[in-house]
A and B are shown apart, each in its own frame.
Chain A
C-alpha cells in the first residue's frame, strides 16, 4: 500500500527534526462502495413505487436506526476518543473511517427520509388530521436542524480533511481544524438524535 509522509506538528521549539507521519493510501470516495449505494437507491425507488407497508417500514426503520446509532456513537463515543488520540493515530483512524462515512451517511439519511415520508403519507401520520401531528412536525424540525448542520458543517469538513490528507504535504493545522469542526458537529448531531429517539418512540406508542 502506498503511503505518504508528512512532518508532525512542532509543539516545542526543539532543534531535532519532527518525526514523519505515515498516511495510508486511501480513496476519498470508495468506488467499490458505490455499487452498494446504487443498490440502496434502487431498493428505495422500488419501495416507493410499489408503496407497500413492509418495504417502506423496513427502509425507514433500518435507515433511521443506522443513522441514529452512527450519530450517537460517533458524536458521543468515537468523537471524544478521536479528539484525545495522538495525531499519528488519529490520521490512521481518519483515513479508514471517513471515506466510508462519505458514502454511508448520505445513503442512510436519504433512505430514512424518503421512505419515512412515503410511509407517513401511506399511514396518514404526516397529515394534519393525525392525533400526534405536533410530534410529527417536531420531528421535521429536529431533522431539519440536523440536516443543516450535517450538510453545512460536517460533510464539507469530512471531504476537505480527506482531500487535505491526499496532498503530498498535508498541513497538520488544517487537518486539526477540520477534524475539530467534524467532531463538534458530530457531537451536536449525536445530542440531537436523543430528541429523535424521544419523538419516534412517542409516535410508535401513540
Chain B
C-alpha cells in the first residue's frame, strides 16, 4: 500500500494526551493538600500547544477527505463531551475548586477536542480518492 505523506497527527495527539494525563495524575496525587499548580499548568500548556500544532499541520494538508473527517469527528466529539461532562460533574461534586478546577476543566477541553480529531483523522486518511478535496 503506497503511503500518503501526512503530518504526524497520531503521534502528536498521543503525546498531548499523555501530558494531559500526567497533569491529572500530578493534581490527583497531591489531594487534599494544597497543590502547586505550576507543573500542571506547564503540562496543560504543552498539551494545548501540541493540539494547536496538530490543527495547523492538518489544515495545511492538501487533498484530504474533510467531509469524512468532520462527519466522524463531530459524532465522536459528542460522545467525548458527554464523558468529559461526567468526569467534571464528579470533580464539582467533590468541591474541587479554584485553580485546580480550572486546570482540570481545560485539560478535559483539550481531551474532548484532540481525541475526536484523532479518530476523524484516522478514518479520513484512508478515505477513497473521490472523497478527498483540495485544501
- Closest-by-CB residue of A relative to B10 is A152
- Residues on B with beta carbons closer than 8 Å to the beta carbon of A118: 90, 93-94
Q: Is the CB of B123 within 8 A of A126?
A: no
Q: Does A160 contact B (CB under 8 A)?
A: yes
Residue pair A157, B122 in contact (C-beta under 8 Å): yes
**Chain B 46-68 near chain A by CB (<8 Å), digits 1 or 0:** 00000000000000000000001
Contact B86 A110, beta carbon cutoff 8 Å: yes
Pick the residue among B13, B33, B126 that contacts A164 (CB under 8 A): B126
Is A14 in the interface zone, CB < 8 Å from B? no
> Are the CB atoms of A128 and B86 closer together than 8 Å?
no
Q: Could you tell me the dominant secondary structure of chain A's interface residues? A: helix
Complex Cα spacing A52 to B22, Å: 29
Interface size on B, residues (CB 8 A): 37
Contact with B along A18-51 (1 / 0, CB 8 A): 0000000000010000000000010011001101
Q: Which residues of B contact A145 (CB under 8 A)?
A: 21
CA–CA, A45 to B119, complex, Å? 27
At the interface with chain B, which of A63-71, A170-178, A192-200? Answer: A170-178
CB distance from B70 to the nearest CB of A (A): 13
Tell me whether B25 is interfacial, beta carbon within 8 Å: yes
Candidates A48, A133, A155; contact of B89 at CB < 8 Å: A48
24 A-B pairs in the complex with CB atoms less than 8 angstroms apart:
A29-B75, A44-B86, A48-B89, A106-B83, A110-B83, A117-B94, A118-B94, A121-B94, A126-B31, A127-B32, A128-B29, A128-B31, A140-B25, A141-B25, A145-B21, A147-B17, A148-B17, A148-B21, A151-B115, A151-B118, A152-B13, A153-B10, A160-B119, A160-B123
Binding site for A on B (CB under 8 A): 1, 10, 13-14, 17-18, 21-22, 24-25, 28-33, 68, 72, 75-76, 79, 82-83, 86-87, 89-90, 93-94, 115, 118-119, 121-123, 126, 128
